[in-house]
């Protein structure tokens, strides 16, 4: 019988999930947290921490053993991401994006040759992969994609640009999967529409330029760049999945990714809750603990309620993925509620910490800066609302 004391929110999970949560939580508290302020200030992705996560098997959790992974389920990835996000969202999103957006497209849609070529190194954390979808005029509106790929002499010649691409410029980035227009087709409405496909572009390919990193409000440690593709040539076999299926494939990947992203949101909200409880317990104001004031205690109680609701939705969505059940609506619910919980809890934690909560050396300040992007990344709040509304029968929710 296991002697592990379950960490918060894992009490009803399997012993294997509880053990993983405890192991990652210890790593987050003992290795990530003490160093996070330094590399946040340096705006540097600490490759030594990424390597340690690779040695723990975190980058290979949902990847099959025969491809170098751990053969675990998707819920395991969510459990790990949550524990990391409590103390550092940048490290958590490096794992979440590296797997959810980087490795999973190859696992879900790649040929066996592509899987065997790229996944083992990704699973070991020795390499990172990126997913190049967003452009200046195309993100949620993928039909506005301007990047093109023309088949010339059995090579794809790619021209265009991408922006906000996570893990795209690290020293260990091995590839970027880009969406590109590879032709035209007739849409369901009878109108001409772009045919989107996804193509693997290895790092270092001539014509692929990683532009300088963004100066972001938060997520300072996370590697994020715009990309320029100028006559990039890759072999025809670098097509990922069927030609013309890029739109459907990226929707599927984003659905999955939103569940792991929701786990990141839950972790951020949980981290703020823990910091608020700790500070309200030790801070003495007017002769008593800050938490003994009803307003403070009620504020923290609401923080707990937000975490519990968001975690429940996230677990349900992850379980649906593992059970092979439809999960698009549940993914959007989890991402919507989780991101709003993270933002609200970051605000409340900062308020409880007072002036100390405005100092970057304290994790609540970094959560305050970092959490806003949770309402924007991997589908904004408005996109999630539209998806949920569509599942309620309001089919024109995306219309203006």
Cite the active site residues: 378
Q: What are phi and psi of 99, to 5 degrees?
A: -90, -55
In the three-class reduction of DSSP (H, G, I as helix; E, B as strand; rest coil), residue 166 is classed as strand
What letter would DSSP give residue 134? Answer: -
CB 141 within 8 A of CB 133: no
125: left (phi over 0), alpha (psi -120 to 50) or beta: left
Helices (H), the chain: 15-27, 33-42, 47-55, 74-85, 89-97, 104-109, 112-123, 246-282, 294-323, 328-353, 363-370, 381-391
DSSP 41-75: HHT---HHHHHHHHHTTGGGTTS-GGGTS----HH
State both tokens at 128.
């990172």
Residue with tokens 């991401």: 81
State both tokens at 364.
């609540």
CA dihedral 20, 11, 74, 93 (to 10 degrees): -70
The end-to-end CA distance of the chain, in Å, is 57
């Amino acid at each position: 019988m296991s002697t592990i004391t379950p960490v918060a929110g894992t009490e009803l999970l399997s012993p294997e999930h509880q053990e993983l949560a405890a192991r990652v939580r210890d790593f987050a508290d003992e290795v990530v947290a003490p160093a996070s302020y330094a590399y946040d200030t340096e705006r540097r992705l600490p490759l030594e921490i990424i390597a340690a996560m690779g040695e723990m098997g975190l980058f290979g959790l949902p990847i099959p053993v025969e491809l170098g992974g751990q053969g675990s389920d998707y819920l395991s990835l969510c459990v790990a991401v949550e524990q990391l996000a409590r103390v550092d969202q940048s490290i958590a999103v490096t794992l979440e994006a590296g797997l959810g957006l980087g490795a999973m497209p190859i696992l879900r849609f790649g040929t066996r040759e592509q899987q065997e070529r790229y996944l083992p190194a990704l699973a070991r954390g020795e390499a990172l992969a990126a997913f190049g979808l967003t452009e200046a005029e195309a993100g949620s509106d993928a039909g506005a994609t301007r990047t093109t790929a023309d088949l010339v002499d059995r090579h794809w010649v790619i021209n265009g640009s991408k922006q906000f691409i996570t893990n795209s410029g690290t020293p260990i980035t091995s590839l970027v999967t880009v969406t590109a227009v590879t032709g035209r087709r007739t849409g369901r409405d009878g109108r001409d529409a772009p045919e989107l496909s996804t193509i693997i572009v290895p790092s270092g390919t001539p014509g692929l330029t990683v532009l300088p990193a963004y100066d972001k409000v938060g997520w300072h440690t996370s590697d994020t760049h715009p990309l320029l593709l100028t006559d990039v040539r890759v072999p025809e076999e670098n097509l990922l999945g069927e030609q013309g299926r890029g739109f459907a494939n990226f929707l599927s990947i984003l659905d999955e990714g939103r569940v792991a992203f929701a786990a990141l949101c839950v972790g951020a909200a949980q981290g703020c809750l823990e910091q608020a409880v700790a500070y309200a317990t030790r801070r003495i104001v007017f002769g008593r603990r800050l938490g003994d004031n009803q307003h403070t205690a009620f504020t923290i109680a609401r923080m707990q309620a937000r975490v519990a609701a968001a975690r429940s939705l996230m677990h349900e969505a992850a379980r649906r993925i593992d059970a092979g059940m439809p999960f698009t609506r549940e993914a959007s619910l989890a991402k919507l509620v989780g991101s709003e919980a993270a933002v609200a809890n970051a605000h409340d934690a900062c308020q409880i910490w007072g002036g100390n909560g405005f100092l970057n050396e304290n994790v609540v300040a970094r959560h305050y800066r970092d959490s806003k992007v949770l309402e924007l990344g991997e589908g904004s709040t408005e996109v999630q609302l539209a998806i949920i509304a569509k599942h309620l029968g309001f089919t024109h929710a995306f219309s203006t």
